[in-house]
Structure 1
């Protein structure tokens, strides 16, 4: 094979043998690291993913940084993990920046004529989103059992193919499923060397020249009660800006208050919300199922953060339904310190409470379980 034959550009269709010649990796598996080629090759198979309860692809709804490609981690049955042999592939994605590797994404398109050799289309190079590298999501596996999967949020690192067929299908129907609290943790965040590494911020902040896309109808929603996951309470991000510090503080605050509620005998979790007609999945910060309280946490008590939290919790609380509870949940904003009196006045207008952490570590607020403040 000549050197020119090894060149693969976004949109090109190749066999895995040809891909390995250009970018390395193993002959099988969905997550294939290559030390020599400084690459982690990610293979997505739409048919397999749908059977396993998930979709990989572009979100139709972008944000201020551009588009996000969601890629579901390794593990077809049971809860996915970052630990041990089962979590090796997921760790390879999480550590790609510190190991000086890029993420290359391929999606299966078919087979070579007259053979069983699969072909894959190259989408391009990516990196993990620096602010939210992954989220935990509850799905129904091919065996019908609920499980937790890790969904990586990828940002384009260079030239990519952004094809319409790679956009995640929008939600088609409304479902509301209550899932009891079940601890699914990534213990490696507390001790693994990966926690001292840095996640890169995307080089290309806004995708230019993107084709316009019709807005999808937004009529119905579904809510699923799931376990909250602090995606990284001690993760050091490359850009130590106020925003990234606030993200870390928010995760730590949420985890601390969750632990406090758990110790008081409360059942805690979160709500996973899918809006009909949209491809993205919303996730609340914390839900106290015992007292029917929805929390939105922020990493600071600034005016900007309080106003953002107010909008989010008013939005999310519309969709939170719990067995035996006809009313919407009590809405509470969780903060690391008390807001200004003026912000209390604003929140009172919308019947939104406040819980904050005092200097001595206690949690203060009307929603805090009685006798525990």
Structure 2
């Protein structure tokens, strides 16, 4: 079995850059087309001999893994310690909290109901506890308080006995929500759903929560989203499409207005970094990519700008015509209108029983 610089870094408690420097001194550069070192036993021993360290030099432990590194899970524990059977690992040798996700394998414990990459770029992770209500003890408490205690969260995906380092995360806002999930006996219980956001990570390595997110870019028939009370902290699940009443009525009326123009409002699902994101509406005839907001206040308009420009770029990359449009219940202040205009975003506002297009 070959040895990698990542594995040596765990063993020797050394930065991989230093290990690769020694490898180049010993063996030159990698052949063209080869991106990672894979060492046989003789080569690995030669590196060990050049970088041998006394036991007292191995403490304190440093974080040595780089994004995309794959190691055996037992090597991770040999280096850092921590709970060997838990999804949330809190080793005493470092401040880092290690989180292991295994898509598909935790479904029978209710972990698959929310867990996965979200449209907003966050990663929802289900807390520990296979039976009964999950509580803020041990790993769950550590993960909840990670940002407050300045502890990096290191996320790994698991496959067999191997784990692959996805990158560093922190908790989002809010840090968690409590949702109903099934336990191992298929009994409903309270589950802690953590919201993790990347600091430096390859989020494409994480699986999406919704089956919808496995589909490629596609346009389908548009229907007005369901209206419901807004719940602070609830995870965003794209299939639900729940919006506040004012925004719901705005989208519904605008969809009917579009149909009255002889055009066809559609839903457009776009693939983005391993997740699926979806504008509020797409009009193929005009190429309009529409993001609706319930208020013309600055915070809503600024959020809409970022969203609609992101949607439009993805749509153009998929070969579609894309004109970014922000839909509001009334006109915003003049400064924001100028900002939208300078960015090439069309503004549409409600005007009595119809809508006004402000180029």
Q: Give the structure-2-normalised TM-score.
A: 0.44
Q: Give the structure-1-normalised TM-score.
A: 0.43
Query: Which one has a larger percent helix, Structure 1 or Structure 2?
Result: 2
Higher relative contact order (CA 8 A, sep 6+): 1
